[in-house]
Amino acid sequence: MTWPQRKPAGLDASEKKSFGKGVFRKCDGCDETLPAEDFEVNFEVCPKCGKHHKLSADGWRELVLDDGKLDEWDAHLAPTDPLQFTDGKAYPDRIATAQKNAGAKEAIEIGRGHLDGRPIAWGSFLFAFMGGSMGSVVGEKITRLFERAVTERLPVVLLQASGGARMQEGILSLMQMAKTVGARERLRDAGLPFMSVLLHPTTGGVAASFALLGDVNIAEPKALIGFAGPRVIESTIRQTLPEGFQRSEFLLAHGMIDRICSRLEMKRELSVLLGHLGPQAHG
């Protein structure tokens, strides 16, 4: 097959002045040092060993959506500080830093796009925003994603990469687990498919709520997927966990997910599945 490839963005003048800076990257899967452009054009998949490095939301849109276009919904929603939380740094200050780093108001984007001509409701976590943590706004946007998909009769494709519920919002973040699951069930009742794509990592309250409730749960290779991390579990039960515990391959072997799919095949995989599950309307 023909692999998708990105057009390299190129380096700015300041990077070119310093020899090697931004020109080469080392893969943490095979330890090979390769031109940075090789990763960029391959959607952050190592061309030597196939290691999947983190891909931005922009990259995912370019990879999966037709022409990379998304009609974004509810982009104006932003978090507040109802608990006046501080952990040495005020929560509003952490939010401001995250917004600057991620270039977004919150840790998820939602909207309407097309996949091989088929209209879909699209959601994608932004791990760069506080580790993709789920607070009140993220939960609200996921709920609205499912609800609007019901209204517009659209299948849902949701990409998860999250450390779980956002501690700075306390019980308000945990409430989003039940809220989003309720909205997901209304999508099921409407007979509309939900494709859940599990990226590295998908953990905590996100994994324990809607992330593993897809009609088809698809994971990238070697993604960490689970509630508590392996080190926490080992220290709690005082046992050594099996090798590869909570990785995609382990979960597939134990019936927790349905598919493992290379990022470079994800659009084709989703297109085939949506073709089987419907709805069939295009537009």
Task: Tell me whether strands 33-35 and 24-26 are parallel, antiparallel or unpaired.
Answer: antiparallel
Q: What is the pLDDT of residue 49?
A: 95
Q: What is the pLDDT of residue 216?
A: 97
**Cβ–Cβ under 8 Å, residues 190 and 210:** no
Among residues 196, 125, 190, which one has the least CA distance to residue 156? 196
Q: What is the pLDDT of residue 183?
A: 98
- Identify the segments of the chain with pLDDT beneath 50: 1, 11, 13-19, 280-283
Same domain, 105 and 179: yes
Half-sphere exposure of 196 (CA within 13 A, CB side): 22
Q: What is the pLDDT of residue 15?
A: 47
Give the CATH number, domain containing residue 114: 3.90.226.10
Q: What is the pLDDT of residue 230?
A: 86
Is residue 282 one of the residues assigned to a domain?
Answer: no
Same domain, 47 and 182: no
The pTM score is 0.90
What is the spatial distance between Cα 180 and Cα 144, in angstroms, rounded to a whole number? 9
Q: Which residues of 38-54 are buried (b: 16+ CB within 10 A; e: fewer)?
A: bbbbbbbbbeeebbbbe
Domain around 26: 1-53
Q: What is the pLDDT of residues 65-79, one digit of tens each?
A: 999 999 999 999 999
Q: How many separate domains does the chain show? A: 2
Is residue 283 one of the residues assigned to a domain?
Answer: no
| Matching residue, tokens 């994603």 | 145
